[in-house]
Amino acid sequence: MLAFLIRRIGLIIPTFIGVTIAAFAFIRVLPGDPVLLMAGERGVSPERHAALMQQFGFDRPIYEQYLDYFFSALQGDLGNSLVTKRPVWDEFFTLFPATLELSVCAIVFAVAIGVPAGIYAATRRGSWPDQTIMGTALIGYSMPIFWWGLLLIILFSGILGWTPVSGRISLLYFFKPVTGFMLIDSLLSGQKGAFSSALSHLILPTIVLGTIPLAVVARQTRSAMLEVLSEDYVRTARAKGLSPLRVVGIHALRNAMIPVITTIGLQVGVLLAGAILTETIFSWPGIGKWMVDSIFRRDYPSVQGGLLMIAVIVMTVNLIVDLLYGLVNPRIRHVR
């Protein structure tokens, strides 16, 4: 297991360095002079221009600039936002809990419905419930989620008036963030109705963001389950006279879950990409919306920093999934 761990971590280091190069290159490949780009339409005088070039170190050799960037990034210095002038690192971690809260809810939603639906479909293979579940899953998988979000807003906010359209909590409530998770903070604040307000703001974004993972999890669970159900040991368990619930729920499920866990882990990239759209539609103040806003405001240090941080998160989660996979499935550890 240790060798496996070292090998996996050894693989991630060059990727991490590559990601920092990609993020570093991002500002450099933009056409035009970086200082002029940051100055935007105001422009700068030639003297100020030279001074700024020196201040940001743009006059030094490119590899020195990169090493500088790399080591500051390792220490959490990602530069300052051009718009708010605050450190990008702080901005990111102020907004990150909102995205994390939404993503966790979305994945819980996806697993809570997707796994049972997939198991049920597998045990009733070919029946109409199976076909309905798989048909629905394929529709979910094909869903343009930005449109799905708008539809849900039309129905639940527009026609039925059940849920709010945007934001994380009603403006009536205000409390200092403790954990950054609105559901927990609203409970901690002890204000009446705050929790239900936070919850009602969360429902639609959760459904929208969780739709594609839900479809993927349901499909993956079904196919993993089908594969396991045809194995000899399952037949043995049935022949022993174990109840169908025990055979499916315990004997088969354990092995079927291995690929499903991997699939769930791999949804993190999907979730972060989906967060861009979901947060834009629901004005959810997380990093997805922040990235889009930063791109439109030409706030390049923020885009650069966000890009790096998101890649690091995806890489870390993938590493954890890999390690978990090695842990639950000994066969993987010994390959190669």
Partner 1 sequence: MSEHTIDTPADTRSTGTRALLQEFWHYFSENRGAVIGMWFFFGVCLIALLADVIAPHGATTQYRDALLTPPVWQDGGDWRFLLGTDAVGRDMLSRLIYGSRYSLFVGCIVVVGAMVVGVTVGLIAGFVGGTVDTLIMRLMDIILSFPSLLLALVLVAILGPSLTNAMVAIAIVQQPHYVRLTRAAVLGERNKDYVTAAKVAGVRPLRLMFYTILPNCMAPLIVQAALSFSTAILDAAALGFLGMGAQPPTPEWGTMLAEAREFILRAWWVVTLPGLAILLTVLAINLMGDGLRDALDPKLKRS
In angstroms, what is the minimal distance from the CB of 271 to partner 1? 8
Taking the C-alpha atoms of residue 296 and residue 82, their distance in angstroms, rounded to an integer, is: 12
- CA nearest 314: which of 293, 287, 334? 287
User: Nearer to partner 1 by C-beta: 6 or 250?
Assistant: 6
Taking the C-alpha atoms of residue 312 and residue 166, their distance in angstroms, rounded to an integer, is: 29
User: Nearer to partner 1 by C-beta: 103 or 186?
Assistant: 103
Which spans of this chain sit near partner 1 (rule: CB under 8 A)?
A: 11, 14-15, 18-19, 22, 26, 29-30, 135, 138-139, 141-144, 146-148, 150-151, 153-154, 158, 269-270, 272-274, 276-277, 280, 291-292, 295-296, 303, 307, 310-311, 314-315, 318
In angstroms, what is the minimal distance from the CB of 55 to partner 1? 24
In angstroms, what is the minimal distance from the CB of 1 to partner 1? 22
In angstroms, what is the minimal distance from the CB of 89 to partner 1? 18
User: Nearer to partner 1 by C-beta: 28 or 86?
Assistant: 28
User: Nearer to partner 1 by C-beta: 97 or 288?
Assistant: 288
Location of structure tokens 């008036």: 161
Q: DSSP assignment of 119-143, as one string? A: HHHHHTTTSHHHHHHHHHHHHHHT-
User: Nearer to partner 1 by C-beta: 186 or 278?
Assistant: 278
In angstroms, what is the minimal distance from the CB of 332 to partner 1? 15
Strand, helix or coil for residue 80: strand
- Cβ atoms of 264 and 217 within 8 Å: the answer is yes
- Cβ atoms of 28 and 34 within 8 Å: the answer is yes
Strand, helix or coil for residue 226: helix
